[in-house]
Amino acid sequence: MKITVTEKKIEFKKELNKLDRFVIEFTSLLNNLKMQYVIVSGYIPILFGRSRTSEDVDIIVEKIDSETFRRGWNTISVGFYCINTKHAEEAYEDYLCSGISLRFAKKNTFIPNIEFKFPKTNLDDWTLKERREVVLGSHRFSISPLELQIPFKLHLGSEKDIEDAKFLYTLFKEDLDMNLFRDFNRKLKTQSLFQRYLQ
Amino acid sequence: MRTPRINLKELEKLKEENFRERLEFIEKYVEWMKKSSNKTWSSQQKDLID
């Protein structure tokens, strides 16, 4: 496997699957809109080769004002539709600003979809600020730092999540900032799960 | 219809063993990925997902 990992960037090439193409299409719109966002959770292990798929892709987007959101809504609406509501104002006020995610899918489909949300916790703010760039051939998008993503998967704790953590840790253990990784394991109280299943 | 007696402790133990086996498989899968070209592993992943 050929992959280049630096402090802020991960660069590699792969045969794109349908989920990769779906993510690239949506994040290209966010890139064009110059929105700050970060992909978190289940798509990250899939991006790097995990042998499973997912019905949704979680994206945390910086908190934007209603006018910026409306511009984004108009751009996204060319190829995608919002499953929750047809109205931009309702999407912004009653969903995003009320802490409820929006789901965007390609027209005439239901899955896969993008779970689009504003940051809710300190961890969300941190991951947005410290996001890492993925260069996948000619495409670029942002993902959560693996030093958080792996302990957070352990924190979620389902068998699927621990398997995702195992996959990412086994693949990237030589590239992780171990001080940061240990700090998140300590703060999320996942040291014993780490020792039991990942080491 | 009579149903068999169920030993929940035994099932729990099997569930944990099965989970450990899957984790072991993931470790072997990553070892294989690391030795393979990007085209090889990602083509197989694409076949599975698509």
Pairing of strands A139-143, A9-12: unpaired
For all residues of chain A together, what is the average pLDDT? Answer: 97
Q: What is the mean pLDDT of residues A87-110?
A: 97
CA distance B6 to chain A (A): 23
Residues contacting residue A190 through CB under 8 Å, at least 6 positions apart: A151, A154, A155, A184
When CB atoms are compared, the residue of B26, B35, B46 closest to A15 is B46
CA distance B48 to chain A (A): 7
A159·B22 Cβ contact <8 A: yes
Pairing of strands A56-61, A37-40: antiparallel
Q: Where are the domains of chain A?
A: 3-144, 146-199
CA distance B30 to chain A (A): 6
> What CATH class does A3-144 carry?
alpha beta
- Per-residue pLDDT tens for A26-68? 999 999 999 999 999 999 999 999 999 999 999 999 999 999 9
- For residue A97, what are its two tokens? 């600003």
Q: Report ipTM (2 d.p.).
A: 0.92
Q: How confident is the model at residue A180 (pLDDT cuts 50, 70, 90)?
A: very high
Q: How far apart are CA A102 and CA A92, in angstroms?
A: 9
A2·B36 Cβ contact <8 A: no
- Per-residue pLDDT tens for B3-44? 999 999 999 999 999 999 999 999 999 999 999 999 999 999
- State the pTM of this model: 0.95
φ, ψ (nearest 5 deg) of residue A37 = -150, 165
Asked if B43 reaches chain A (Cβ–Cβ under 8 Å), the answer is yes
